[in-house]
Structure 1
Amino acid sequence: MSDLDRQDAPTFPPLMAGEEVTGQQDPFEIACLRATQGVDAGLVLYRLDATSLEAALVFAPEVPLARAMAMLPLCGVGFQNALGALAPPEVAVHLEWNGAIRVNGARCGQLRVMASDPDPQAVPDWLVVALSVTLLPKGDAPGLTPDETSLFAEGCADVAPPRLLEAWARHTLNWITRWEVEGAQALHAEWRGLAHGMGEEITQGDHSGTFLGVDEDFGILIRAKDTTQLIPLTTQLEAP
């Protein structure tokens, strides 16, 4: 092990396997590379250091990309459930449509997504969702960036990063199972309760207006004057 004692290494639920990346390697990049090489779904690449938790989960979708993109908000819900189980009860987690994670109102992390094929109607060979969480402030003067925070600054100093990673994996797997068995209704209900900015004025790309909600595939609905724009969640894909 590199930064972790072996006894502190995270353990993962059945159907998932964890692998720590070394040095300053990006788990997201490594996971996408491994996915192109045909690695099994359920692999979690991760890196834990003093200031951040970085992880990436490999999926092998069996549905078109437009539906498979639900894994982005699903991983966010998994994180909220995980931190909610470990952190003090006053710690609030909310999720932005674009993958940003807010803790007590300020940005504390980010979800990113990449797939083998950007065609919304095609079933991709693989899809990877990455999680990045700030544990400690990045600078010496956090007051200069009031919209950014860290877990430890928000009262989560007793939350051990390996245990948080384990919990994220468990809760995410639980939601994957529910999504496969029950459909997206329960995930939609859970996510809506955590969505940041619902009913408020927001800007996404070239569109500004009132955040009305999302469609069945988590595309965002923004109303400006007499027009409602639908922006598919696939617009959040990063290029391979």
Structure 2
Amino acid sequence: MNTDSPLFPPLLRGEAVKPGVDPFAKAISRAVAGVDSGSIFYSEAIDCLKAALVLAPEGNLTEAMQAVYVAQIGLAESLGALAPPEVPIHFVWPDRIKVNGALCGRVRFAAETTEADSNPNWLVIGIDVPFLNTRTEPGATPDQTTLHDEGCGEVTPMALLESWSKHTLLWLTYYINSGFERVHNEWRPRCDTLGHDTEYPLSGTLVGLDEDGHMLMRQGGMTQTLSLIDYAEPA
């Protein structure tokens, strides 16, 4: 257990959950109860970072889901600031994180509604990043990694949580002031599956995001639109 309480920037506030409690589930339950936007719920475990941020979107669900990309950029910039400079950070759309070419955690999200045109009262975005391998022998899962295995042994979960909150708030400000285009331009080069064949989340070629944040996937001669809404977790 980490006894050092993380420091959060203005407009955000944190609350540690009890051991064994999922911060993402806690954030959803508190969001339903009307907790303030900007609340972050987090675990104090030392082998991983599990945290979830509650937001109160002003637009419809399609617009609200664009904040997921904001949180991903915040995480990438946080890891970039704390990890050794040679460690690359990328995404796999819609929710996976890659460190040094291997999967290293995920982003989670859920909203009050699943209707694209409805205005949700709350949106919860969570991150789950493994720091230590506590389940398998080293090298047993070469497509998966941890921060410790990638040379980030000096990084702690609470340091990453602090950094994520600051970078995410900064990019939320950019998003509010400049719209989705700036977020899109920053996010796109960090998604290493764009322009390539992939089996996740479906088989096809990811072409890129449209102006609403939907992913365009080419399958044969057809292109279909994929929405983050379809990959949100049940509320």
TM-score bucket of the superposed structures, by smaller chain: over 0.9
Conservation of the 8 A alpha-carbon contact between 2:2 and 2:46: no
Measure how far apart 1:204 and its partner are.
4.3
* Residue of structure 1 aligned with 2:63, choices 63, 67, 74: 67
- Which residue identity lines up with residue 195 of structure 1 in the other structure? C
For 2:68 and 2:35, how far apart are their aligned partners in 1?
20
TM-score of the two chains, using structure 2 as the length reference: 0.97
Structure 2 residue 227 is matched with structure 1 residue 229: no
Measure how far apart 1:45 and its partner are.
0.1
For 2:199 and 2:141, how far apart are their aligned partners in 1?
20
The superposition leaves residues 192-218 of structure 1 with CA deviations (integer Å, 9 ceiling, x where unpaired) of 01002111111345x421111111222
Aligned counterpart, 1:190 = 186
For residue 167 of structure 1, give the secondary structure of its aligned residue in structure 2.
Answer: helix
Structure 2 residue 1 is matched with structure 1 residue 10: no
The superposition leaves residues 38-64 of structure 1 with CA deviations (integer Å, 9 ceiling, x where unpaired) of 010000000031311100000000010
Say if 1:124 and 1:150 are closer, same or farther in 2 by CA, change over 3 A. Answer: same
TM-score of the two chains, using structure 1 as the length reference: 0.95
The superposition leaves residues 161-189 of structure 1 with CA deviations (integer Å, 9 ceiling, x where unpaired) of 21111000000000101000001111101
Query: Any runs of at least 4 consecutive aligned residues in structure 1 with deviations exceeding 4 A, and if so which?
Result: none
- Which residue identity lines up with residue 174 of structure 2 in the other structure? R
Aligned counterpart, 1:82 = 78
Aligned residues: 235
Conservation of the 8 A alpha-carbon contact between 1:73 and 1:99: no
Conservation of the 8 A alpha-carbon contact between 2:46 and 2:156: no
Structure 2 residue 131 is matched with structure 1 residue 116: no
Structure 2 residue 159 is matched with structure 1 residue 163: yes
Aligned counterpart, 1:46 = 42
Aligned counterpart, 2:123 = 127
For 2:203 and 2:217, how far apart are their aligned partners in 1?
7
* Residue of structure 1 aligned with 2:87, choices 87, 91, 97: 91
Conservation of the 8 A alpha-carbon contact between 1:217 and 1:233: no
The superposition leaves residues 56-83 of structure 1 with CA deviations (integer Å, 9 ceiling, x where unpaired) of 0000000100011011121111001011
Conservation of the 8 A alpha-carbon contact between 1:142 and 1:149: no
Conservation of the 8 A alpha-carbon contact between 2:102 and 2:143: yes
* Residue of structure 2 aligned with 1:219, choices 211, 214, 218: 214
For 2:25 and 2:191, how far apart are their aligned partners in 1?
27
Conservation of the 8 A alpha-carbon contact between 1:73 and 1:97: no
The superposition leaves residues 125-170 of structure 1 with CA deviations (integer Å, 9 ceiling, x where unpaired) of 1000010000011324131211110001101001122111100000
